[in-house]
Amino acid sequence: MSPASTDATSALMRREFDLVVIGGGSGGLAAAFRAAEHGARVALVEPGALGGTCVNAGCVPKKAMWLAADIGRHLCMAGDLGFMAAGAEGAVQPLPAAQLDWPTFIVHRQRYIAAIHGIYARRLDDAGIAVIPSRGRLLDARTVACEDGETLHAERVLIATGGHPFRPDISGADLGGVSDDFFHWTAAPPRVAIVGGGYIGVELAGLLQALGSRVEMFVRGPRLLPEFDTDVVDQLAEDYRQAGVRMHLQTDVEALEAADADGGVVVRSAGGARSERFDALLFATGRRPNTAGLGLEDIGVQLDRRGHVVVDDGNATSVDGVFAVGDVATEPALTPVAIAAARRLMDRLYAGRDRRLSRSDIPTVVFSHPPLGQVGLTEAEARARHGDAVHVLQTRFRPMLHSLADDHQRSLFKLVCIGPERRVVGVHLLGEGADEILQGFAVAVRLGATLQDFHDTVAIHPTSAEEVVLMR
C-alpha cells in the first residue's frame, strides 16, 4: 500500500479530515484533487457513479450522441457531393441514407464513459483521497453523517451535489420523460415532442431530428434560448425549420394525455388545443438543485427560493466553513464553471492564493445543429449598458461544405463592440466549428481586444473562422 493510501486509511479510521466533499461530480472531483495536491486530507462522499451529471447523463454522453448525429448529417451530404457505394460486380450507386444502429453506438459511448470512471478511480487512489460510497448529511458545520453509520469530521465542508431534471406540475406529466431518460433509449422514436427551448431542449431536438426522428418543440417563450443573442438564435431557429423541426412558440403545455395503449402521448396546450400523437415526449423545462436531505437548512445554510445554496463570489455559504460549487449553488450551471470555481476555492483555502472566478465573459456553447456559442455581452445587454457607444458587425454565410452540397444551412457570426476604440465585448457564433472556434476568441475578449486587433490578425483561408477577423 502506498504512503498516500496508508494516510487516507488512517484518516478514515480517525474520521478526521481537512476537507469533506459531498458530491463526486465535476466540481466535487476538481475540488478534491486540487485540495489533495496542496496536502489536504480529503474525503469524498458520493453514493453514485463518479463524474456526476456531466459524465453520466449530460455533457459526455450528449456530445457522443451529437457526434453520431453530425456524422449522419455529413454522410447524407456525401451522396450529393458524388460519393458512391460499390454495388454488385463493381457497379456504383448513390450512397443510401445513413441510419445509426443505436445499440452498437451505445456500446462505444458507454465504453468511453467507463474509461473516465476508471481514470477517476485511479487518480483518487493515487491522491490518497478517501472515497465514501454513501450519502452524506451535515449534522453541523464540521460533521457529516453517512448512511453507513460513518461520521466524518473536517475543518471545512464543500457541497457539490449538482442538480436533477424535473417534470413540471401538470396533468399527465408522468407520460413524458426527462433528459436523463433519453440516455436509456436504444432507437430514435419516429415522432418526438420536446417541451422547453433552453440548452437541453434545443440540443435534443437537433440531434434527434438528425438521427431520424420527426421533432416538434413546445416553447413557452417567444423564442429559443432567451439568454443568447437574438439574431443568432433566430438564424438557428430558421436552420431548424429547414431541417424539419416544427416549433410551437409562446405555447403553454397544460397537460399530457395518453394517445393509445402503445405508449403514445398527446400534448394539450392552453385553450384546449391538442397535438397529434407522439411516440415519445421529453421535458427540458429546467433543473433543480440536489439540496434535499443534506441538512443544510438545519445548520443555517441559506437557500434561495428555488433551493440553490446561496454563495458569495468566493463560493462561501452563510455558514462559516461550509462552501458550495456547481449546479447546487447560485452560479452559472456549466461544468467548466464548477471545475474552475472549485479549483480556485481550493487554491485560496490550502495554498493562500487569492484566486476567484470571474462570472463575466464566460464562454458557452449549445451543441445544436449547427453549434451556437457566445462569450461576453449580447447586443441587447451591451445597448442597455452602453447605449449609443455600441457598434455591431455581423455576417451570414453558407460554410463551404454546405455550399458544395447545396444544403440549406446558414451560419451567422456577430461581434458586439463598444467605444471609439471598438473594444470587442461580445462574440456570437452559429455554424460548423463554432464550438471549437470560440475558445480562442474568448481569450481575446478577456484580454480586451479591439476590432482593430481582430483586423490586424491574418485570416486563415478558407475557413469559417476567418469571418470573425474579416468583419467590417
DSSP 330: S
pLDDT for 89 equals 63
Q: What is the mean pLDDT of residues 85-111?
A: 80
pLDDT for 88 equals 58
Residue 281 clears pLDDT 60, i.e. is over it: yes
232-242 residue pLDDT tens: 999 999 999 99
174-191 residue pLDDT tens: 999 999 999 999 999 999
User: Where are the domains positioned within the chain?
Assistant: 3-55+106-164+288-351, 173-285, 370-470
30-53 residue pLDDT tens: 999 999 999 999 999 999 999 999
Domains 3-55+106-164+288-351 and 173-285 share a fold: yes
Please say if 108 is a catalytic residue: no
Nearest-10 crossing angle of helices 230-243, 379-386: 170
Architecture of domain 173-285: 3-Layer(bba) Sandwich (3.50)
What's the CATH class of domain 370-470?
Answer: alpha beta
Residue 325 clears pLDDT 70, i.e. is over it: yes
Residue 19 clears pLDDT 70, i.e. is over it: yes
pLDDT for 108 equals 98
pLDDT for 95 equals 66
Q: What is the mean pLDDT of residues 46-73?
A: 96
Buried b (16+ CB within 10 A) or exposed e, 349-377: bbeeeeeebeeebbbbbbbbbbbbbbbbb
Q: How far apart are CA 205 and CA 298, in angstroms?
A: 41
Q: What is the mean pLDDT of residues 351-356?
A: 92
Q: Answer yes or no: are the C-beta atoms of 444 and 468 closer than 8 Å.
A: no
Q: How far apart are CA 35 and CA 74, in angstroms?
A: 44
Q: Give the active site residue among 74, 369, 455, 461.
A: 461
| pLDDT classification of 9: cutoffs 50, 70, 90 | very low
Q: Where are the alpha helices (DSSP H) in 153-290?
A: 179-182, 199-210, 230-243
Q: Are strands 16-22 and 42-45 parallel, antiparallel or unpaired?
A: parallel
Share of the chain above pLDDT 70, in %: 94
Sign of CA dihedral 440, 442, 445, 446: negative
Q: What is the mean pLDDT of residues 216-235?
A: 98
| pLDDT classification of 148: cutoffs 50, 70, 90 | confident
Q: How far apart are CA 179 and CA 181, in angstroms?
A: 5
Residue 311 clears pLDDT 90, i.e. is over it: yes
Residue 229 clears pLDDT 70, i.e. is over it: yes
Nearest Cα neighbor of 370 from 242, 186, 180, 277 is 242
Residue 1 clears pLDDT 50, i.e. is over it: no
Cell representation of residue 263: 405508449
- Domain 3-55+106-164+288-351, CATH homologous superfamily name and number: FAD/NAD(P)-binding domain (3.50.50.60)
pLDDT for 91 equals 63
Q: How far apart are CA 52 and CA 290, in angstroms?
A: 12
**How many CB atoms are located within 10 Å of the residue 223 CB?**
16
Cell representation of residue 102: 443505436
